[in-house]
């Protein structure tokens, strides 16, 4: 089916979800602000604009500040499209394309004119947006019960969203391949980043998150952000966590490479094997918390098998030794937001499903359902500040410090794929994209 047909179906589904949420929460209208462009303090330079994800879930308009969507059951959704007369900047082009047929489009030249297109009586309207989008006394109220319903619905991707997520994966993989080639040719972190942006055809501001491009020990910094500088004298390893987006839908991919064969290359291979095992466990009905705990056992197995830790995997998990080497969660929901909504939400009415004790950074605690898109991102790092604590504690004697110290200059390993949960075998969006590249 063509993307335009999938989009039409998607908007129809968005309408059904919205009517359901309005009915259950007693509102008559839903207004969604795209957001406003904001300048830094005492300056006329604006921050990069990031659209309200609720706005993006309706329309493929990721750089359209001061626009609105108005949904009233029984009426065609209204898109208030801000197209200023502005010769200092390039304003958005006039709305065009098949997607416009899904809306009653009203073009405005002044942001304040949006109010003329709002329903006359707004006392019973849900208004989603940042407070900065407030207009003429119309202030976003972001009702939690309504947001809970919309967020829970967003965990089940529509066929249109899946098509965009597959496109985003293909786009990201183009960047990852260029980045690996740049690494192999001895490029610096910044040069690798530029090769990535060029291959994905993204500016920095369009990336769904800041690229993590780390050589050697820098790859032990979980959210490392490079600055321009020379490449290291001795190239050991490369970790890249970088995404791409299509109409606001993201991929989130990490790969780790060794500059040469040896213990670190073998460790990458071992983590990669466990990562594939975990991907295969992304099945409807499975509690993601159990998969996260399985991952800890797998990391314990790798640490034991490679002689880094002389303790059973079970013992390592119990003594929280695996958390020293793998101190983040196994993954999260993915969609419009890279860390997409409702990862901990109990059900449509809200509430939270707790994280397992001792795992404060897990972002997904739900039982998986068909239509969920999740990341699977086990890691194994040599993080000095965590290793120092281990070295000072009573489990220090179980650690092969010679091997740990020899591997520490390599930093760490993370392997991250984006996976669609289905009613049968999971679909690995990332590995499929690499295979097709
Ligand atoms: N790129 C951020 C993450 O993997 O969650
Ligand atoms: Mn991720
Ligand atoms: Mn990532």
- Which tens digit of pLDDT belongs to each residue from 198-233? 999 999 999 999 999 999 999 999 999 999 999 999
How confident is the model over 279-300, as a mean pLDDT?
98
Q: CB 124: neighbour CB atoms within 10 A?
A: 11
For residues 29-56, give the mean pLDDT: 97
Residue that finishes a domain, picked among 120, 154, 188: 154
Residues 219 and 285 placed together within one structural domain of the fold: yes
Same domain, 202 and 332: yes
Same domain flag for 84 and 163: no
pLDDT bin (cut points 50, 70, 90) of residue 382 is very high
Q: Into how many domains does the chain fold? A: 2
Distance from the first to the final alpha carbon of the chain: 22
CB-based contact 375:429 (threshold 8 Å): no
**249 and 364 part of one domain:** yes
Q: Is the dihedral of CA 293, 297, 302, 306 positive or negative?
A: positive
- Could you read off the pLDDT of 90-129 as tens digits, one per residue? 999 999 999 999 999 999 999 999 999 999 999 999 999 9
Answer yes or no: is pLDDT of 136 > 90: no
Q: How far apart are CA 48 and CA 247, in angstroms?
A: 16
Q: Which of 154, 185, 211 is the last residue of a domain?
A: 154
Q: What is the CATH number of the domain that holds 86?
A: 3.40.350.10
Q: Which residue from 375, 414, 415 has its CB within 8 A of the most atoms of ligand 1, so it is best to mutate?
A: 375
The tens digit of pLDDT for each residue in 351-379 reads 999 999 999 999 999 999 999 999 999 99
146 and 204 share a domain? no
Residues 147 and 291 reside in one and the same domain: no
In a shared domain, residues 75 and 88? yes
Based on the domain organization, do 166 and 138 belong to the same domain? no
Pair (362, 269) in one structural domain = yes
In this structure, the residues whose C-beta lies within 6 A of any atom of ligand 1 are 209, 241, 252, 338, 377, 416
Q: How many CA atoms within 13 Å lie on the side-chain side of 11?
A: 22
Query: In the predicted model, is pLDDT for residue 60 greater than 90?
Result: yes
Q: What is the pTM of this model?
A: 0.97
CB-CB contact of 214 with 238 (8 Å)? yes
Same domain membership, residue 327 and residue 214: yes
Among 88, 93, 66, residue whose Cα is nearest residue 79: 66
* Ligand nearest to C-alpha 334: 2
Residues 135 and 168 both lie in one domain: no
Last residue of a domain, one of 121, 154, 187: 154
The Å distance, Cα 252 to ligand 1 centre, comes to 6
The CB-side HSE value for 305 (13 A sphere, CA atoms) comes to: 13
Domain carrying residue 98: 3-154
Do 237 and 324 fall into the same domain? yes
CATH number, domain at 366? Answer: 3.90.230.10
Contact between residue 70 and residue 119 where contact means Cβ atoms under 8 Å apart: yes
């Amino acid at each position: 089916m063509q993307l335009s047909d999938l989009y039409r179906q998607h908007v129809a589904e968005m309408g059904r979800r919205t009517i359901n949420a309005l009915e259950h929460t007693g509102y008559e209208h839903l207004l969604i602000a795209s957001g406003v462009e904001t300048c830094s303090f005492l300056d006329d330079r604006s921050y990069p604009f990031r659209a309200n994800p609720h706005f993006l879930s309706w329309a493929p308009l990721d750089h359209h500040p001061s626009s609105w969507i108005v949904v009233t059951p029984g009426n065609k959704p209204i898109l208030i499209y801000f197209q200023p007369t502005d010769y200092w900047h390039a304003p958005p082009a006039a709305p065009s394309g098949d997607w416009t047929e899904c809306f009653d489009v009203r073009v405005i030249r002044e942001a304040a004119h949006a109010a003329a297109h709002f329903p006359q009586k707004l006392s019973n309207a849900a208004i989603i947006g940042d407070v900065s989008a407030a207009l003429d006394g119309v202030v976003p109220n972001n009702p939690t019960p309504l947001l809970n319903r919309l967020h829970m619905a967003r965990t089940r991707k529509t066929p249109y969203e899946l098509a965009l997520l597959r496109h985003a994966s293909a786009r990201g993989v183009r960047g990852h391949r260029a980045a690996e080639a740049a690494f192999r040719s001895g490029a610096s972190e910044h040069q690798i980043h530029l090769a990535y942006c060029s291959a994905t055809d993204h500016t920095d501001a369009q990336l769904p998150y800041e690229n993590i491009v780390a050589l050697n020990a820098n790859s032990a910094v979980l959210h490392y952000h490079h600055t321009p500088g020379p490449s290291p004298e001795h190239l050991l390893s490369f970790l890249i966590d970088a995404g791409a987006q299509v109409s606001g839908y993201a991929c989130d991919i990490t790969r780790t490479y060794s500059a040469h064969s040896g213990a670190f290359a073998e460790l990458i291979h071992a983590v990669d094997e466990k990562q594939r095992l975990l991907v295969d466990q992304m099945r409807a009905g499975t509690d993601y918390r159990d998969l996260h705990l399985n991952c800890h056992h797998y990391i314990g197995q790798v640490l034991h098998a490679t002689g880094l830790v002389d303790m059973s995997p079970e013992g390592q998990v119990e003594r929280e030794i695996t958390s020293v080497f793998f101190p983040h969660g196994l993954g999260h929901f993915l969609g419009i937001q890279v860390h997409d909504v409702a990862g901990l939400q109990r059900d449509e009415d809200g509430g939270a499903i707790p994280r397992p004790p001792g795992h404060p950074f897990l972002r997904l605690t739900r039982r998986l359902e068909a239509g969920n898109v999740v990341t699977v991102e086990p890691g194994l790092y040599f993080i000095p500040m965590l290793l120092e604590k281990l070295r000072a504690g009573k489990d220090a004697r179980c650690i092969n410090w010679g091997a740990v110290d020899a591997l520490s200059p390599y930093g760490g390993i993370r392997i991250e794929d984006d996976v669609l949960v289905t009613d049968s075998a999971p679909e690995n969006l990332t590995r499929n994209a690499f295979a097709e590249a």
